[in-house]
């Protein structure tokens, strides 16, 4: 214990427990002045006039306590719930480069189709049956303007089964091949109207190396080479392309295009050709078409047959070159394969040459028959057809010079 001035001092306390010392003025100092009380705050509602200049006037409203009056408290005001609008699906935006990707795919498809078409054409061209029909011979004339085709319809039965011969009414084997149809087709170099001329098979002409005989006898005696030489000698027109088609090939091509529509002016009943048709427009199948271009059971016999051949060939080529055929693979492919396997062409001819011929004949074609001078019975040969030489010479000169045949030469002879 600490002692101060002889007294015991209390123990020390913590600063927080020590009593606060009372201020006492020193002895002899004047008494302290009394501080005035702080001014009372005057309520605005009691002295509105006093506070008008420095504070806004407020008039509080009495709170209506419905509970103190025993009434039913008003329902609480519930703010309306704001619902979020349903999320709309965002429109699909095109991907960057989508148009270019589609164009690349389209280009790839077109390239594949182009390669397939070119490859198929080259393959079918290699399957064509070729023959040396346009070989040079002594005395052959020079080339003439325009493009000239010799189209031959052969009655060959090669490759036909007995059932097919019966269906096509070919009449069985007749020995040496003959030709029922000989057409000279001139395609002008300037892109004008194509001319198709029928050369009657019984025309009495000079067959080189055999003398005077029927025109189709040259085919039986020397094949395509002698037939081409005979035609060039008789007409003066240079032949550039040769195409030959037989019975079975002709019928298969007609069936490949789905038949051919043609209008017949008179009824035809020919048991030898296996044909019976009513007059009027109708669709002919392959066997019916073959009988139609072969029949002689008509009022003018051979002359009607040549007209029927030209009429039907124009209708066939029009059908083969129509968009409904060459844009339809179920028709264009069988047509191409059927044509490639059914025709015989010259060594220098190709499948695209045949396509150019068909395209040239797709529209209006001038059809004509060589000017006829009459008929005559020749000993050892039979009935032959004579050309009207006075009209036949300028007729073929027009073709040799790549000109249209004069209209007066297209009229039938006596």
Q: For the beta carbon of residue 39, count every other beta carbon within 10 angstroms.
A: 6
What kind and span of H or E run contains 269?
strand 268-270
pLDDT, residue 413, reads 44
Residues 272-302 pLDDT 10s:
878 888 888 989 888 888 888 888 888 777 7
**pLDDT at residue 62 tops 70:** no
pLDDT, residue 177, reads 63
- Contact (Cβ atoms closer than 8 angstroms) between residue 194 and residue 167: no
**pLDDT at residue 83 tops 50:** yes
State mean pLDDT over 39-66: 54
Distances (CA, A) of 159 to 124, 189, 342: 19, 37, 10
**pLDDT at residue 57 tops 60:** no
Phi-psi region of 6 (alpha: psi -120 to 50; beta: other; left: phi over 0): left
**Where does 15-146 show beta strands of DSSP type E?**
129-131
pLDDT, residue 54, reads 53
Among 254, 236, 241, which residue's Cα sits nearest to residue 354?
241
Tokens 């036949």, residue located: 392
Residues 320-366 pLDDT 10s:
888 888 778 888 888 888 777 778 899 999 888 888 888 888 777 88
Q: Give the best-scoring range by mean pLDDT among 107-116, 200-209, 243-252.
A: 200-209
Expressed in angstroms, the distance from the first to the final Cα of the chain is 176
State mean pLDDT over 144-163: 73
Distances (CA, A) of 380 to 175, 214, 397: 19, 11, 32
pLDDT, residue 173, reads 46
Dihedral (Cα; 278, 279, 280, 284), 10-degree rounding:
50
pLDDT, residue 43, reads 52
- Contact (Cβ atoms closer than 8 angstroms) between residue 135 and residue 257: no
Residues 6+ apart with CB under 8 A from 367: 195, 196, 197, 198, 307, 310, 311, 314
Residues 165-196 pLDDT 10s:
555 555 544 444 667 789 999 999 877 889 99
Of 18-22, 197-201, 228-232, 322-326, the poorest mean pLDDT is in 18-22
pLDDT, residue 387, reads 93
Q: Which residues pair with 287 in a beta bridge?
A: none
Q: What is the mean pLDDT of the chain?
A: 77
| Distance, CA of 298 to CA of 46 (rounded, Å) | 139
State mean pLDDT over 154-161: 56
**pLDDT at residue 23 tops 70:** no
Output 365 or 66, whichever has higher pLDDT.
365
pLDDT, residue 153, reads 84
Dihedral (Cα; 353, 359, 364, 368), 10-degree rounding:
20
Of 5-14, 94-103, 160-169, the poorest mean pLDDT is in 160-169
pLDDT, residue 412, reads 56
What are the phi and psi torsion angles at 275 (to 5°)?
-125, 135
The domains found in the chain, sorted by start residue, are 142-409 (3.40.630.190)
Distances (CA, A) of 351 to 185, 331, 339: 17, 17, 9
pLDDT, residue 320, reads 82
What kind and span of H or E run contains 319?
helix 302-320
pTM to 2 decimal places: 0.67
Tokens of residue 184, six digits: 């000279």
């Amino acid at each position: 214990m600490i002692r101060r001035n002889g007294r015991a001092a209390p123990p020390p306390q913590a600063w927080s427990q020590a009593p606060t010392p009372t201020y006492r003025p020193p002895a002899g100092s004047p008494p302290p002045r009394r501080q005035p009380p702080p001014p009372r705050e005057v309520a605005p509602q009691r002295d509105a006039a006093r506070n008008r200049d420095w504070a806004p006037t407020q008039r509080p409203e009495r709170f209506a306590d419905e509970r103190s009056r025993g009434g039913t408290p008003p329902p609480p005001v519930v703010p309306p719930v704001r619902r979020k609008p349903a999320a709309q699906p965002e429109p699909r935006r095109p991907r960057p480069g989508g148009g270019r990707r589609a164009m690349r795919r389209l280009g790839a498809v077109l390239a594949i189709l182009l390669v397939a078409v070119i490859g198929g054409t080259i393959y079918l061209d290699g399957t064509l049956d070729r023959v040396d029909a346009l070989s040079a011979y002594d005395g052959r004339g020079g080339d003439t303007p325009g493009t000239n085709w010799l189209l031959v319809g052969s009655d060959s039965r090669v490759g036909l089964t007995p059932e097919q011969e019966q269906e096509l009414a070919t009449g069985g084997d007749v020995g040496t091949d003959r030709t029922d149809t000989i057409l000279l087709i001139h395609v002008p170099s300037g892109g004008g109207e194509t001319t198709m001329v029928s050369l009657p098979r019984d025309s009495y002409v000079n067959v080189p190396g055999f003398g005077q005989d029927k025109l189709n006898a040259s085919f039986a005696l020397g094949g395509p080479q002698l037939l081409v030489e005979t035609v060039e000698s008789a007409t003066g027109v240079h032949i550039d392309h040769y195409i030959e088609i037989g019975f079975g090939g002709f019928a298969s091509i007609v069936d490949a295009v789905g038949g051919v529509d043609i209008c017949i002016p008179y009824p035809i009943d020919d048991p030898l050709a296996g044909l019976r048709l009513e007059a009027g427009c109708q669709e002919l199948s392959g066997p019916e078409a073959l009988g139609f271009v072969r029949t002689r059971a008509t009022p003018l016999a051979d002359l009607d047959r040549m007209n029927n051949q030209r009429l039907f060939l124009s209708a066939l080529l029009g059908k083969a070159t129509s968009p409904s055929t060459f844009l339809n693979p179920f028709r264009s492919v069988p047509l191409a394969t059927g044509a490639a396997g059914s025709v015989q062409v010259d060594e220098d001819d190709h499948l695209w040459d045949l396509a150019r011929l068909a395209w040239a004949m797709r529209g209006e074609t001038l059809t004509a028959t060589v000017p006829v001078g009459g008929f005559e019975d020749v000993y050892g040969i039979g009935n032959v057809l004579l050309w009207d030489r006075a009209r036949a010479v300028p007729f073929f000169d027009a073709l040799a010079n790549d000109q249209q045949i004069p209209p007066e030469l297209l009229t039938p002879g006596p």
